[in-house]
């Protein structure tokens, strides 16, 4: 009864100290209604400037901070965007693992911030009770595996989802990806022009879109030009396995005279392997790898790299997501169409709209037998930005 008595009764005037000031406190202090306070602070309603500034001043003086939870509950908007990152194995997870993801995440964070949203890091292996307990306005998913239960459920419960990497079976609102096929074909053509007769590939064992599309493009190209595919695979998340695989590739009886490595450290690994086998680069072996690192400008020789432009991807993904969040009022997903110019959309009604971003091939000494040119344009640049 003692404590209970305090609790009943509509806020006993001025009890409960030590608590943060609420909108009611501001209203009382300013001698207006809470409606007026809300309107004044949010720039709504019809109020003379004088009232507005007076309320603002009182709120400031009281150190008033609106409750994010209450606002979210009422408005249905939290200002939070999930950043779903892939996990390898049990506890640790990528993101910050490869330069690509790190850059992409940074760009995404900045872009979200610029539009008033914050990012919640959400490992794909998160316990269900954790992420289902967060009010998300939308989710960015990095490189979704074929059947991601987290993504599926989010999508099903009406949360917009935009993925970096063309999704397999996951339903998503939209997706952004590099034109991996065009990129690989461009590299293979580039190596051919430089005199390669048998081009090898260093690729991964995982089933993500990047690995799959790139490898398929390679195999297809081989069929077309009549070359037997020469490739080695390894688990990309294992840093030590890459060096071993590079070694395997160069140890083959049908040793390639040019190699493209799909992952960041492949350049260093291949260079080391070539040295072990006494192969000169680029004279005996042409080299290209996919990397965002500029250390390859300083290696001996400098190595040609393919940049996936992660900043651009991260920015685009977030902007598409926020467009979807803010463009669709609620419930019916009608005017998503507006967001995607026809040229970016795939087919009519079926698959979600996707955007292909161009890559950039940075040509250095390792892939040329002639005099080096500088940066050249990517093959088939599909988009703007």
In the complex, the residues that contact its own copies under the rule CB under 8 A are 18-20, 63, 65-73, 76, 78-80, 83, 91-93, 95-96, 102-103, 105-106, 109-110, 113, 116-123, 126-127, 129-135, 156-158, 331-332
**Smaller CB distance to its own copies: residue 7 or 133?**
133
Cα separation, 259 vs 87, in Å, equals 28
Residue 10 contact, options its own copies, DNA, none, Cβ 5-8 Å cut-off depending on partner type: DNA
According to CB under 7 A, which one of 29, 56, 62, 71 is a site residue for DNA? 71
Distances (CA, A) of 184 to 44, 73, 180, 296, 353: 53, 48, 6, 19, 23
My answer on whether omega of the bond before 301 falls inside 30° of 0, hence cis, is yes
Backbone conformation region of residue 363, classed left if phi is above 0, alpha if psi is from -120 to 50, else beta = beta
Cα separation, 273 vs 279, in Å, equals 9
Residue 357 CB burial class (10 angstroms; 0-12, 13-18, ≥19): buried
Which one of the spans 33-41, 166-174, 241-249, 250-258 is the region binding DNA (CB under 7 A)? 33-41
According to CB under 7 A, which one of 29, 51, 120, 382 is a site residue for DNA? 51
H or E segment and range at residue 161: strand 161-164
According to CB under 7 A, which one of 32, 142, 185, 318 is a site residue for DNA? 32
**Smaller CB distance to DNA: residue 69 or 240?**
69
Sign of the torsion formed by the C-alpha atoms of 77, 78, 80 and 86? negative
Residue 371 contact, options its own copies, DNA, none, Cβ 5-8 Å cut-off depending on partner type: none
According to CB under 7 A, which one of 19, 91, 129, 329 is a site residue for DNA? 19
**Smaller CB distance to its own copies: residue 261 or 310?**
310
My answer on whether omega of the bond before 282 falls inside 30° of 0, hence cis, is yes
Residue 360 CB burial class (10 angstroms; 0-12, 13-18, ≥19): middle
Is 130 a binding residue for DNA by CB under 7 A? The answer is no
Residue 102 contact, options DNA, its own copies, none, Cβ 5-8 Å cut-off depending on partner type: its own copies
**Smaller CB distance to DNA: residue 22 or 379?**
22
Given a contact cutoff of 8 angstroms between Cβ atoms, the answer to whether 84 and 69 are in contact is no
**Smaller CB distance to its own copies: residue 25 or 181?**
25
Write each residue from 80 to 99 as x if it is in contact with DNA (CB under 7 A), else as -, in one continuous string: --------------------
Show the tokens assigned to 201. Answer: 């590939």
**Smaller CB distance to DNA: residue 133 or 349?**
133
The CB-of-105 to DNA minimum distance in angstroms stands at: 30
The widest CA-to-CA distance across the chain, in whole angstroms, is 91
According to CB under 7 A, which one of 15, 31, 60, 118 is a site residue for DNA? 31
Is 15 a binding residue for DNA by CB under 7 A? The answer is no
3-state secondary structure of 260: strand
Which one of the spans 32-40, 146-154, 303-311, 351-359 is the region binding DNA (CB under 7 A)? 32-40
Residue 33 contact, options its own copies, DNA, none, Cβ 5-8 Å cut-off depending on partner type: DNA
CA 66 to chain centre: 31
3-state secondary structure of 312: helix
Which one of the spans 47-55, 97-105, 304-312, 363-371 is the region binding DNA (CB under 7 A)? 47-55
At how many degrees (to 10) do helices 266-276 and 239-251 cross? 40
Sign of the torsion formed by the C-alpha atoms of 86, 88, 90 and 93? negative
Is 53 a binding residue for DNA by CB under 7 A? The answer is no
According to CB under 7 A, which one of 57, 60, 70, 284 is a site residue for DNA? 70
Binding site for DNA (CB under 7 A): 3-4, 7-11, 19, 22-24, 31-36, 38-39, 41-42, 44-48, 51, 64-67, 69-71, 73-75
């Amino acid at each position: 009864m003692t404590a209970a008595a305090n609790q009943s009764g509509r806020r006993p005037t001025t009890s409960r100290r030590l608590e943060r000031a609420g909108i009611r406190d501001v209203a009382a202090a300013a001698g207006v209604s809470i409606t007026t306070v809300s309107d004044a602070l949010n720039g709504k309603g019809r109020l003379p400037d004088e009232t507005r500034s007076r309320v603002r001043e009182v709120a400031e003086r009281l150190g008033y901070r609106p409750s994010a939870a209450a606002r979210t509950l009422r408005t249905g908007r939290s200002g939070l965007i999930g950043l779903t990152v892939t996990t390898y194995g049990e506890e640790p997870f990528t993101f910050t693992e490869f330069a690509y993801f790190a850059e992409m995440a940074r760009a995404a964070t900045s872009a979200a911030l610029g539009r008033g949203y914050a990012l919640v890091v959400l490992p794909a292996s998160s316990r269900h009770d954790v992420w289902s307990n967060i009010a998300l306005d939308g989710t960015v998913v990095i490189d979704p595996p074929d059947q991601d239960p987290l993504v599926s459920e989010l999508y099903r419960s009406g949360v917009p989802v935009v993925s970096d990497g063309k999704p397999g079976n996951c339903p998503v609102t939209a997706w952004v990806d590099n034109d991996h096929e065009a990129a690989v074909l461009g590299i293979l053509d580039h190596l051919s022009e430089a005199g390669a007769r048998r081009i090898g590939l260093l690729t991964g064992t995982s089933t993500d879109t990047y690995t799959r599309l790139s490898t398929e493009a390679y195999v297809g190209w081989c069929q077309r030009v009549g070359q037997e595919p020469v490739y080695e695979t390894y688990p990309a998340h294992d840093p030590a396995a890459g060096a071993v695989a590079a070694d395997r590739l160069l140890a083959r009886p049908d040793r390639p005279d040019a190699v493209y490595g799909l992952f960041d450290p492949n350049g260093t690994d291949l260079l080391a392997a070539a040295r072990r086998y006494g192969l000169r680069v680029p004279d005996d072996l042409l080299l290209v790898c996919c990397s965002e690192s500029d250390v390859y400008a300083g290696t001996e020789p400098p190595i040609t790299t393919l940049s996936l432009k992660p900043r651009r991807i991260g920015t685009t993904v977030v902007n598409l997501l926020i467009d979807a969040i803010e463009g669709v009022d609620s419930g019916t997903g009608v005017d998503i169409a507006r967001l995607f110019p026809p040229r970016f959309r795939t087919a009519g009604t079926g698959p979600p709209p996707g955007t292909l971003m161009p890559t950039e091939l940075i040509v250095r000494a390792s892939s040329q037998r002639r005099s080096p040119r500088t940066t050249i344009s990517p093959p088939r640049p599909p988009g703007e930005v």
